[in-house]
Structures are given as C-alpha cells and as structure tokens.
C-alpha cells in the first residue's frame, strides 16, 4: 500500500473532510474554525481513492477540538463501518488517514473477562472492538512487548499488521478498496506498518484520546455530550446537518 503525501484539502477525500471539519468547528467555535481553515499541513493519506469520510467522523473531530474534549492531547477517530482511522495532533491538525482492521464480531461491548483470555480462547461472538471514548498510551504487554493501548482494561491496542496467521490475509484485507473484509481481528485495531511507524507511533508517544464509533449502539449513548452539543449547534444556527450514511 503506497502512501500519498499531500497537502490537507488537496486529495478529494481529505479535501471533503477538511471542508466539513471547518463547518463542524464553526458550529461550536468560530475561532477554532478560523484556525482550521488557515492550517494546510502535510499529512499521510492511505485511504482508497474515492472513499469518503463520513460527516459523523468529521463532526466528532470538530467537536473534540472545539470543546477541548481531547484536553490538548492527540486523538484518533475510528469508524468501524468504513474501516477508517483519522489521526489528529493535539492542535487539531490532521496528521493521517488510513484504513484499519477491526474486531471480526459486530458489536460495541467488551465481554467480561475477555482481557484475561488467550487469543485462541476468545469466542467468535466476543471478538469485538468496543465503541466509546478511551484515554490510552504506550505500555508493556505480556506477549508483544511495548504496545499502544487504546483500552488496557479490555486489552484493545493499535498495532501494525502482522503475518502471524497467513490464512487471515490481513495485509491483503487492509489493502483492498472496500471495507467489507476489514473485520478480522480479535478486537484490536491493525494499520499498515508504514502508517504505524510514520503516524501512530510518533503522534501517540505520550498518549492520547481514542474515539471509536459504534456498530449498533445509538450514538447518543456512546457520545452523549457530542450529540447534545451537535443538537444545540443546529438549533443556534438553524441549519440542518446531514446524517452520515452508515
């Protein structure tokens, strides 16, 4: 998979994301919107050509920045349905966008006790990537050395795609243009080794915040403050924000 170095707002998928981000920020904080509009920064784009970023992802990113929910830390917004991960610096600048692999089971829960099981012992139905807001960072693991924990309690981390089980064809799934085959992990998030080394590792070296959109749970239950703020913004300016097609 070849990365496309770009100027933010140049590639179609990122240009659309940039414009939507400015609009989302404008709903919450005019000053932040002006800053975002002025920031055209180098980023890494590994998203398939022509693949769009949903309004919900961009609005959530805009809210995280404008409301300071990220508390100045870098953050990532992950869309399991689209198999996408967007990474932002603590200043709100987009650093990279790429496809990701997620849990093979659809669902937003973490099964009790799953963190203490060996991978082969996790039932298929419990191989989920939980949804929600998580504060994580690098730390030790029993079998993989130092890893980037998204949620230590549920043993969910972000790591580069490995070739441990050839039959799973993880690298091939990650490189395919459609998101339908990206549900294959035991619950962790996989990205390409290049994206991990160039974007994930340096961005989250001192930790960060991770927002994972739900598969089936209502967005209002997963991110209640975001949904409430979005509704308030709509009432204030009288405009209608499109719902993402999920």
Angle at 11 between CA 8 and CA 12, to 5 degrees: 120
What confidence score (pLDDT) does residue 237 get? 63
Q: Which of 4, 224, 8, 215 is nearest to 95 (CA)?
A: 8
What confidence score (pLDDT) does residue 164 get? 66
pLDDT digits (tens, 9 = 90+) for 68-117: 999 999 999 999 999 999 999 998 889 999 999 999 999 998 888 877 77
Q: Widest CA span of the chain, in angstroms?
A: 53
What confidence score (pLDDT) does residue 54 get? 92
C-alpha 62/C-alpha 138 separation (Å) is 25
- The CATH number of 4-237 is 2.40.440.10
Q: Which of 129, 109, 121, 112 is nearest to 184 (CA)?
A: 129
The domain limits of the chain are 4-237
User: Which residues lie closer than 8 Å to 109 by C-beta, 6 or more apart?
Assistant: 128, 130
Q: Which of 12, 17, 54 is nearest to 36 (CA)?
A: 17
DSSP letters of 126-174? G-----EEEEEEEEE-SSSSEEEEEEGGGTEEEEE---SSGGG-HHHHH
Low-confidence ranges of the chain (pLDDT < 50): 1-10, 30, 33, 36-41, 241-246
């Amino acid at each position: 998979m070849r990365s496309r170095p770009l100027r933010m707002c140049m590639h179609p998928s990122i240009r659309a994301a940039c414009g939507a981000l400015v609009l989302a920020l404008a709903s919450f904080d005019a000053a932040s919107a002006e800053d975002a509009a002025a920031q055209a920064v180098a980023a890494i784009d590994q998203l398939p050509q022509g693949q769009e970023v949903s309004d919900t992802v961009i609005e959530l990113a805009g809210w995280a920045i404008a409301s300071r929910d990220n508390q100045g830390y870098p953050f990532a917004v992950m869309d399991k349905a689209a198999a996408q991960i967007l990474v932002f610096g603590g200043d709100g600048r987009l650093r990279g966008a790429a496809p990701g692999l997620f849990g093979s089971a659809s669902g937003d829960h973490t099964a009790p006790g799953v963190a203490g099981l060996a991978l082969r012992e996790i039932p298929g139905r419990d191989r989920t990537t939980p949804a929600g807001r998580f504060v994580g960072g690098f730390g030790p693991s029993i079998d993989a050395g130092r890893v980037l924990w998204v949620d230590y309690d549920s043993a969910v981390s972000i790591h580069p795609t490995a070739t441990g089980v050839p039959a799973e064809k993880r690298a091939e799934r990650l490189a395919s243009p459609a998101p339908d085959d990206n549900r294959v992990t035991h619950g962790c998030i996989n990205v390409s080794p290049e994206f991990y080394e160039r974007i994930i590792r340096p961005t989250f070296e001192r930790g960060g915040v991770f927002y994972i959109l739900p598969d089936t749970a209502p967005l209002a239950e997963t991110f209640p403050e975001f949904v409430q703020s979005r509704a308030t913004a709509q009432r204030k300016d009288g405009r209608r924000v499109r719902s993402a097609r999920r």
